[in-house]
Structure 1
Amino acid sequence: MLPSLQRTLAAPVRWLTWLGDQGTRAVAALVLFGIAIPPLGALLRPFVTEAIFLLLVISFMRVDLAALRAHLRRPGLIVAATAWTTVGVPLIFGLAAHLTGFDARSPELFLALMLQAIASPMMASPAIAALMGLDATLVLVTLVTSTALVPFTASLFAALFLAGTLSLSPLALGAKLLAILAGSLMVATVIRWLFGADAIQRHRRPIDGVNIVILLVFVAAVMGNVIADFLANPLLSIAIALLAFAIFFALLIVTTLLFRRIGYEQALALGLMVSQRNLGLMLAATAGALPGMTWLYFALTQFPYYLAPQMLTPIARRLTSQAAGAAAAGSAP
C-alpha cells in the first residue's frame, strides 16, 4: 500500500518541487495571474483567512530553532529591529497622517495605511530574503519577535489612531490576531513533533511549492477586482499604485540606512522585511470587512511586495559577494 501511495504522490511532489525552485519568479507571477483571472479572486476570497492561517503554519514549522537561539544571545540588535518595525513604523505613519490631516481627508486610504503599518512583517519575508541570496537568519528572528508582539501593539495603535474607523474594537482586533497566531503556532509545533525538523528541511523544495500555491489564494483574492477598479477610475488606481510603491521603497531605504552599521547585506534584508507587511493577517483578523478603497490599496501593494524582490535580487547578490570578499580578505594571513 505504501509503495502505491508513494507512486501516486510522486508526480504532485515533482510538480511542487519545480514550482518551489522557481523562487522569486513564481512569486512575481502570482500577481499577474491574480489580475488575469478575476473570477478566480471572487471564488477564493472566502478562503483568505484559511490561506493566511496555513501560510503561518508553514512559516512557524520551518523556524530554525538553533539560529533563533544564537541570535537571541545578542538581543540588542533584535530589540532595535523589533522596536522599529512594531512601534516606530506605525507611530510615524499615524502621527504624519494626523498632523497633515490626511486621516480626515481620506479615511478609507488612511485605514489601509494604518493597517499596513501596524501589521507584522510578512511570514514569507525570510524565505524571500533567502531566495535573493541574503542572510535570512536575522530577518527570521526579528519576524518571530515582532509577530509575537503584534496582537498587543496593533491593539494599542488601533486605539490611538483608528478609534471608530474599524468595524471591530481594538481589543477584539488584538484578540483575533492572538488567536490566529497562537493557533498556527500550535499546529506547526504538532507537525514538527510528528515529522521532525530534519524531514521538514529535506522536503523544503516541495514545501516551497505548497507555500506558493497557498499564496495564490491570498493574491488572487485581493487582486480580483483590480481590473474593474482600474476601468472605473484609472487615474485613482494609478495614484494608489504609485503610493504603494513609494511607501514600499521609503520603508526599504530608511530601514537599510538606519541599520547600515551592521553591514548593507543584513540591513537590506531587514529593509525588505520591514517594507513587506503582513496585510493578509489584517484581512484575516478583520474578516475582510473593509471599505472598497482599503481593499484596492491592499491589492495594489502586491505589486511592490512580489515584483520588487525580483528587481532587487542583482543588488542583493552584489552585496553578498562583496561581504564574502571582505570576510575572505579579513581572514587572509
Structure 2
Amino acid sequence: MNLTLISQLLHAPRVGLNFLGRQGTRAVAASAIAGLMLPAFSQTLRPWIPHAIFALVVLAFLRVEPAEVARRFKRPLLIGVVVAWIMAAVPFAAGLAAHAFALEVWSPGLMLALFIVTAAPPVMSAPAFAFLMGLDGALSLAVMVSCVLVVPLSAPLVAGFLLPDALPLEPLLLARNLAGLLAGAMVAAWAIRKLAGPARITAARVEIDGINVVLLFVFIIAAMDGVVARIFSDPMLVIGITALSFAVAGGQIAAAYLVFLRLGRADAFTIALATGNRNMGLIVAALGGVVPDVTWLYFALGQFPIYMLPMILKPIARRVAASTSAA
C-alpha cells in the first residue's frame, strides 16, 4: 500500500464529514427517516444516547467562540427573561389549556407527554441546529445552558401544576448530573481548543457540523426503539401523535418568535427554535425511563419535528439572517 493510497484513505472521513456538514439540515432530516428504517439497531444504540448527548454539548462549546458566549451573558436580564419564558411561561400556559380540556382525565399518558415536552430545556443540539441554519449559535448556547441549569428547580414545580400527583424528580440528583455533564463538556472543549488551536477549529467548522449530523443520526436510531412495530399495530395513533408533536413544536416556535420579535428577527428566530425543540430525553431519563406507552411514543415521534423543522424553516432563517446583516 503506497503513501498516496494511505493519504486518500485518511482523507476520506474528512470528505464525508464535509459533505454532511454542507448538507446540514437536509442531512439531519434524512437521518430521521433513515432512523425508522433501521429498527434492528435501535436497541443496540439506545445505551449510547447519553454519550451522544455529551458529545453534542462538547461540539457546541467547541463550535462557538468563548468571547461570543460571554458577550451574550453580559445581558443577564435578557437571558433571564428568555429562560423564564421557556421554562415557566410556556409549560404553565400549556397546563392551563390542558386542564381546561381535562386532558389529565381522558389521557394521562398524553398529559405526561405534555409535561415532558414543555418542562424540558432546549435540546443539547440547539446550538448545532442554529449553526446549520445560519443563526447565532452563541445565543442558542447561552439560552440552552441557562435553561439546563434551572431545570432541576423548574421541572418539579411544573410537574406539580400539570400532573395530578407530582413526579418524584429528585432535583439534587438531576442538578448534580446536569452540572457534571456541562462541566465535563466545557473542560473537554477547552482541552481540544488548546491542543488544536483556534485557527484549526475555525477551519474545521464544516467537519464539526458533519460530526453533529452523525451524532444526531445515532440518537434518532436509538429513540426509534419499538416505534416501527407500533406503526404497523396502530397506524392512526402514530399519525395522530406525529401531527400533534409538530403542532406543539410549531406553536411554541411561533409564540416565542412573536414575543421576542422586538429583539430583532434573527435573535427572535434563534430563541424560537430553542423554545420549540425540547430535550425530552433528559426528563425521560430523570423518570428512570419508565413511562406509559403513549408517552414513550410521543417522545419518540416528537423527535421528527426536532430533526425536520430546521430544514423546513431554514429558508426563512436565511432571509432573516440576511435582512439582519443588511440592516
The answer to whether the superposition gives a TM-score over 0.5 is: yes
- Deviation digits for residues 186-213 of structure 1 (CA, Å, limit 9, x no counterpart): 4334433443444333222222222221
- Indicate the residue corresponding to 1:119 in structure 2: 120
Match of 1:331 in 2: none
Q: How far apart, in 1, do the equivalents of 2:90 and 2:163 lie?
A: 15
Task: Decide whether aligned partners of structure 1 residues 134 and 289 sit closer, same or farther in structure 2, where only a CA change above 3 A counts.
Answer: same
Return the letter of the residue paired with 1:53: F
Aligned residues: CA RMSD? 2.6
Q: Secondary structure of 1:60's partner?
A: helix
- The Cα offsets for residues 144-164 of structure 1, whole Å up to 9 and x where unpaired, read as 322222233224434554575
1:53/1:184 contact within 8 Å kept: yes
CA distance in 1, matches of 2:104, 2:50: 27
1:134 aligned counterpart, secondary structure: coil
* Structure 1 counterpart of 2:67: 66
CA gap 1:163/1:181 in 2 versus in 1, 3 angstroms:
farther
- Assess if the C-alpha contact under 8 Å between 1:121 and 1:143 holds in 2: yes
Query: 1:39-65 CA distances to partner (integer Å, 9 max, x unpaired)?
Result: 121221122222222222222333421
Which moves more between the two structures, 101-110 or 248-257? 101-110
- 2:136 aligned counterpart, secondary structure: coil
2:216 paired residue number: 215
* Partner Cα distance (2:307, 2:142) in 1: 22
Using structure 1 for the length normalisation, give the TM-score.
0.86
Contact 1:218 1:280 in 2 (8 A): no
2:49 partner SS? helix
Look up the SS of the partner of 1:76 in the other structure. Answer: helix
Q: 1:170 to 1:291 in 2, by over 3 A?
A: farther
1:311 aligned residue:
312
Change over 3 Å in CA distance of 1:12–1:283 after alignment to 2:
farther
Of residues 129-138 and 218-227 in structure 1, the stretch that sits farther from structure 2 once superposed is 129-138
1:219 shift after superposition? 0.4
- For residue 249 of structure 2, what is the amino acid of its counterpart? F
1:93-172 aligned within 5 A: 93-162=94-163, 166=167, 169-172=170-173
Residue 78 to residue 305, structure 1, CA distance change in 2 (3 Å)? same
Residue 267 of structure 1 deviates from its aligned partner by 1.3
Number of equivalenced pairs: 324
Deviation readout 1:276-301 (Å, 9 max, x if unpaired): 11123334444533322122101211
Partner deviation per Cα, 1:110-159 (whole Å, 9 max, x = no partner) = 22221121211122222322322333333232223222222332244345
2:27 corresponds to 1:13: no
1:323–1:62 distance in 2 versus 1, CA, 3 Å: closer
Superposed counterparts of 1:246-265, under 5 Å: 246-265=247-266
Q: Which amino acid aligns with 2:281?
A: G
Q: Distance in 2 between matches of 1:81 and 1:227?
A: 37
- Aligned 8 A contact 1:41 1:220 in 2: yes
Contact 1:112 1:298 in 2 (8 A): yes
* 1:52–1:284 contact (8 Å) kept in structure 2: no
Which residue of structure 1 lines up, in the alignment, with residue 269 of structure 2? 268
Q: CA deviation at 1:33?
A: 0.4
**Once the two structures are aligned, what percentage of the paired residues are identical?**
42
Residues 80-137 of structure 1 deviation map (CA, whole Å, 9 limit, x = unaligned): 1121112212222334334432123222222222112121112222232232233333
| CA distance in 2: counterparts of 1:108 and 1:302, whole angstroms | 17
TM (norm. structure 2) is 0.88
Partner residue in 2 for 1:330: none
Change (3 A) 1:255 1:108: same
Distance 1:145 1:245, change over 3 A: same
